[in-house]
Structure 1
């Protein structure tokens, strides 16, 4: 990766393993020694020169391989991928060239070619977990185009021309941020560069937001000493803001020594002299500290023995002035790849970056939630927080899904930038209006009660105009109960699950009077029949719901027919209709003793309501649909009007 202390962990500790026997060509010369001590930026120039002067096919393949390795370790996958391919074409026998080429292609989003190379490599090295993971991740990336609701923005005021990465929000002051940067040191004229990355040395900076929310100029956290032989990065600070832990990589004349964790105390507004945190032998890697909110657990990255491969995340517990023996976080967190940049939130969730868990390419950011003392549930944070490039070093504002992270996306040189992320708040608003028949005024003690599946139960006021409003929580189902004296209780349901954006739920409710008989205009029968049709069943379902919402009400079911036919037969038919309706209601859970049924035949013609007159322009409100009135209508309307008399009415008995 193109950030100093990420590369440094791959330097002199392991470089000799890669270059054993690399002196077979005298033309390698200086390039070999530069690579061996981890000075990859300088090695790239020397290897390019050696390649141009080399004519032997074998050595051209070997030089190509280590040139590609240098590009990979300085986070330049676009350059690394074709050079690995060149090494393979020259027949260089290092099998991992194909694996690293596939990983480089994956990091630039070329998933199809990466899949082909992973499959070819696995035919040669069937059990390599990194190849299996890369293959699974590339296939997932191709089919998983769905994005999360997170929104991201590059923070130009914090980013420079070089790498800026690993932000950390001050726990005691959310307007202050700490971050690592390889920018040119303030006040220096001549560009100072790292022999490893080709960028300026990594330092820790801090910046503040002004009253308008704009970032002021970043300042060095520690005073700059031009003679210092170390680089700093990846800081974590205790909740009280008094103790900081950070990564430091020191140099000797022979090259970089490796990475260590250091700490410093803040007193009187200034940070004191740092001191090394003793966690293990100097020959091992200790980096990327993350202190828990209570200050008692320190998470870090290391290649301690007993891990799962690559770099793992470990922890130590505070024991007075000392730290306990390191404990590996286990197989739920750690893989055969590299796990880095841990971060702990106040709720105990652990965030980290990994190239060993299935992701979209390079390092992805993962969230780990504790299941018990030893087990974790690990989840990829998805796009757009993760990309095909390296995404790492996340930090959150306390109690909010808002914060910062770093990524090398959209940077052809593989440099890192700081991005802000936020999860837009979803609001579910309910806006309702209650109306009564004939525009009657709303009774004073009209009530609206809202019951949620999350256990909430609240009562809200209704305005004199009949309006009411409530703010609901996403992810629930709500039952809305509306009651007013003299009217049937009314029930509505609102579902706020699976919302992807804020939404206002509109409820327009007309209450039904309990003082007048209920007439469902679609609850009608065919002449001579007592069978329920589809419209009738739908109306009766509504009635059953009303009766369930008004459990103290008893009703009488009165069935009517038109006046055509034998009076006795019409009464029998209407009684059959009333009993059919009662049978349906009892099948829907309405107690039999709450119901009574009678048929009156055609003795009580329907009286035209305002709604019927509006629907049928040849009827007048208030008229009774008796036979004499029907005979005065145009013949084409008479059968329709007689059908209106084939109805059922419901009256409240108690």
Structure 2
């Protein structure tokens, strides 16, 4: 049925009219829309497609919320009659009918046309600047709202609700056991009566989920008459009841057009019975007042009226209830709440939020439920509750309990049992999602030491980056991820080869998955047999007793240059070695010349001299057993190829700490330092910053800072402080 304050009663009844425009118009003016639609369709079928016939057909279905037919006839109206000859209100009703049938784009187009034709009407203004309102009103809510069609709903109109202890007071046109009840000609349903049903809290399908049902409906005989009663509310002390009724108290009264309006009535509980029913003093025989609601302190009564001087078709008002039980003057809630359309069904929650229904504010359908809170006594903003409270159809009579946990809303949405249905709803916080903790440590593959500043990238099944992290000193990383999802995690760090691991979180909440990474250095680097990090190249060989750069050696040295250009932070030490033949002192001098030769070549290619030093080690670090000492007994006979293997150069990376490359600190070095018990070191021939730092178990950077050194240059005899 059409949810409107004008649940009025037309008194002109009884005679059979000829099927003519005059008869159809009289039915329409008497709000007998079922009959007016039938007659106007017959008139249309006989060839009359005038503005009157088409508009009356659209309106007859619109006022009974039969939106598919109202859309059909309004479309006929706009395709038959020139648009400039059609009043603006039909643009709005056509847009509403389209929206009720989920034709949102066309509805918005016609609402914009309505806006252009009626610039001062607030109902068209909200479409401007709200292009995405549909997405906003239908997006997933932060809290879980569950709706339940309650058991007391019938094939008729069941709506409204007032929570009274364990009971729900509601309204219905259901005839119940009263067969042959008089029908209301607006919609051919019986007149509205007030019922009481029992609330039942039922367990839901999931843990911590529940729903409310209403059963055992019975009439509230103390106030019901043969005409309309609805919208009952009761004061907190249980002694006063306000409700809506036709202008009927012992007899039916009408205005001078023979129209019966609505009034607000009050009943008092006397000796356990509802008695002393009186109408409120601000009622009128000339317009309707109904749908009562009380403020939380019960000092203000809210209601709906179409009284003169309002903003729209029906407006929300409030009136003060004075200490002596009398009333102040009605006060319109203003243009923030009221529009040129219909505002109705007010309800004030325990937190003083005002809920109401409106077709004048931008929404999902015909009537939508809105909420507004007072700021310094004024309503300054409203919010559409969105789905699932609202639908493309009529949604109204919203009530909620004092804890904001459950309540009821009425709707004629699709899937119901009848015309209007009552839906209970529950609001609850969502269950914490199933999450799992993913942890891991990024380590150096060779030394198993944690790697700082490694980059961890997490991607989902589609390859989209979900999260990124940079490891701290501990090398650790951690993610908290939803259960039962596919992911890929990649660990990378400069100077190391990246590594990836694909995994799937399980369905077990709070499970911890460990994903460790062991990264190896890039192919440009390698370790020698003393675990010193160096640049990987093919061997650089020197001719016997020579220190000049051979062509094959130049090729490899160019590779060194390329790598140092690629990694501009690298600082290296060029170490040169000889075979064991010849005198040891001579070999040491030869190897030093070879080291200096390689350094000069690399510097000549544009590498800064601060990034490379050279040192010859003679035959002190052989790669095999080709010993050829002065003592004949220690001489080992080797092939030329075996001797050639010892004539080599290596390029050690000396600033591994600065580069963040893993270094295993040898405990024995620290023990040697303790045995040495020295706090200074005099540089001897053959010493390098790397060898001194390694001996004392510190990094080259630390050694430099302790001695305020720049670059890698040290001198024989120089004293370095060790703390």
Provide TM-score, normalisation by structure 1: 0.62
Once residues 431 and 702 of structure 2 are traced to their aligned partners in structure 1, the CA distance between those partners, rounded to angstroms, is 47
How many angstroms apart in 2 are the aligned matches of 1:338 and 1:349? 19
Q: Tell me if structure 1 keeps the 8 A contact 2:693–2:700.
A: no
In 1, distance between residues paired with 2:532 and 2:239? 82
Q: Is the 8 A contact 2:315 2:339 kept in 1?
A: yes
> What secondary structure does 1:405 align onto?
strand
| Pairing 1:62–2:52 present | yes
How far apart in 2 are the matches of 1:40 and 1:412? 23
- Aligned residue in 2 for 1:166: 160
Change (3 A) 1:85 1:284: same
Structure 2 CA distance for aligned equivalents of residues 82 and 317 of structure 1: 45
Contact 1:314 1:327 in 2 (8 A): yes
1:416-468 Cα offsets, whole Å, 9 max, x none, are 111111122345599999xxxxxxxxxxxxxxxxxxxxxxxxxxxxxxxxxxx
Report the counterpart of residue 265 of structure 1 in structure 2. Answer: 268
Residues 432 and 403 of structure 1, relative CA distance in 2, 3 Å threshold: same
CA distance in 2, matches of 1:26, 1:422: 51
1:529 to 2:655 alignment: yes
Please give the residue correspondences for 1:499-648 in structure 2 after superposition, counting only pairs within 5 Å.
Answer: 506=510, 527-529=653-655, 531-533=657-659, 567-570=691-694, 574=698, 577-578=701-702
Give the unaligned 5+ runs of structure 2: 12-17, 203-211, 438-473, 482-506, 521-530, 534-652, 663-686, 707-720
Distance 1:108 1:266, change over 3 A: farther
Determine if contact 1:341/1:393 at 8 Å carries over to the other structure: yes
Q: Report how many aligned residue pairs link the two structures.
A: 468
Does structure 1 retain, via aligned residues, the 8 Å contact 2:159–2:172?
yes
Alpha-carbon distance in 1 for matches of 2:508, 2:697:
48
User: Residue 371 of structure 2 corresponds to which residue in structure 1?
Assistant: 367
Other structure's SS at 1:209 match: strand
Does the Cα contact within 8 Å between 1:571 and 1:599 map onto a contact in 2?
Answer: no
For residues 528 and 535 of structure 1, the distance between their equivalents in structure 2, rounded to whole angstroms, comes to 11
Cα displacement (A) at 1:261: 0.9
Answering whether residue 64 of structure 2 is matched by residue 74 of structure 1, we say yes
SS in 2 for 1:274: strand
The whole-number CA distance in structure 2 between the counterparts of 1:429 and 1:146 is 19
C-alpha contact (below 8 Å) 1:530/1:577 kept by paired residues: no
Decide whether aligned partners of structure 1 residues 117 and 426 sit closer, same or farther in structure 2, where only a CA change above 3 A counts.
closer
1:94 aligns with one of 86, 96, 101: 86
- Cα deviation for residue 396 of structure 1 reads 1.2
Residue 7 of structure 1 and its aligned partner are, at CA, apart by 4.3
Preserved CA contact (<8 Å) 1:133 1:358: yes
Number of the residue aligned with 1:465: none
Structure-2 residue corresponding to 1:396: 400
**C-alpha distance after superposition, 1:129-151 (max 9, x if no partner):** 32344677786226754132443
Which residue of structure 1 lines up, in the alignment, with residue 180 of structure 2? 190
How far apart are the structure 1 equivalents of 2:363 and 2:177? 41
In structure 2, C-alpha distance between the alignment counterparts of 1:386 and 1:345, rounded to whole Å: 18
Q: 1:577 to 1:114 in 2, by over 3 A?
A: same
In 2, Cα distance between the equivalents of 1:167 and 1:581?
80
Give the Cα separation in 2 of the matches to 1:430 and 1:134: 40
In the alignment, which residue of structure 1 is the partner of 2:684? none
1:40·1:195 contact (CA, 8 Å) conserved in 2? yes
- Cα offset, 1:120, TM superposition: 3.7
41-50 or 156-165: bigger deviation: 41-50
Counterparts in 2 of 1:428 and 1:91: CA distance versus 1, 3 Å: closer
Aligned-partner Cα distance in 2 for 1:161–1:63: 31
Q: Which digits, 9 at most, give the CA deviation of each residue in 1:598-625, with x for residues without a partner?
A: 978xxxxxxxxxxxxxxxxxxxxxxxxx
Which residue number corresponds to residue 381 of structure 2?
377
| Residue number in structure 2 paired with 1:217 | 216
Structure with more relative contact order (C-alpha pairs < 8 Å, separation 6 or more)? 1
1:6 counterpart residue number: 5
In structure 2, what is the Cα distance between the partners aligned to 1:70 and 1:290?
30
> Is 1:116 matched up with 2:109?
yes
Deviations 1:526-569 (A, max 9, x none): 75216544688xxxxxxxxxxxxxxxxxxxxxxxxxx9986535
SS in 1 for 2:373: strand
- Following superposition, the deviation at residue 581 of structure 1 comes to 11
Structure 1 residue 199 displacement after superposition: 1.0
**Change beyond 3 A, Cα 1:576–1:214:** same
TM-score by length of 2: 0.57
Q: Distance in 1 between matches of 2:20 and 2:307?
A: 37
Equivalent position SS for 1:222: coil
1:236 partnered with 2:233: yes
What are the within-5 Å matches in structure 2 for residues 170-569 of structure 1?
170=164, 173=165, 175-184=166-175, 186-209=176-199, 215-223=214-222, 228=225, 230-250=227-247, 251-252=252-253, 255-319=258-322, 320-410=324-414, 415-426=419-430, 506=510, 527-529=653-655, 531-533=657-659, 567-569=691-693
Give the CA deviation at 1:525: 11
Matches of 2:156 and 2:660, distance apart in 1: 72
Q: Deviation digits for residues 274-293 of structure 1, max 9, x if unmatched?
A: 21112253323211110123
Contact 1:430 1:507 in 2 (8 A): no
Q: How far off its partner does 1:573 sit? A: 8.7
| Kept after mapping to 1: 8 A contact 2:435/2:480 | no
**Aligned-residue offset at 1:361:** 1.5
Kept after mapping to 2: 8 A contact 1:222/1:271: no
CA spacing shift, 1:307–1:40, aligned 2, 3 Å: same
Runs of 5+ unmatched residues, structure 1? 14-24, 434-487, 496-502, 511-519, 537-562, 583-597, 601-654
Q: Structure 1 residues 323, 599: closer, same or farther in 2, change over 3 A? A: farther
Give the structure 2 partner of residue 545 of structure 1. Answer: none
Contact 2:233 2:242 in 1 (8 A): yes
CA RMSD of aligned residues (A): 4.3
How much does 1:37 deviate?
2.2
Which of 94, 101, 107 is matched with 2:100 structurally?
107
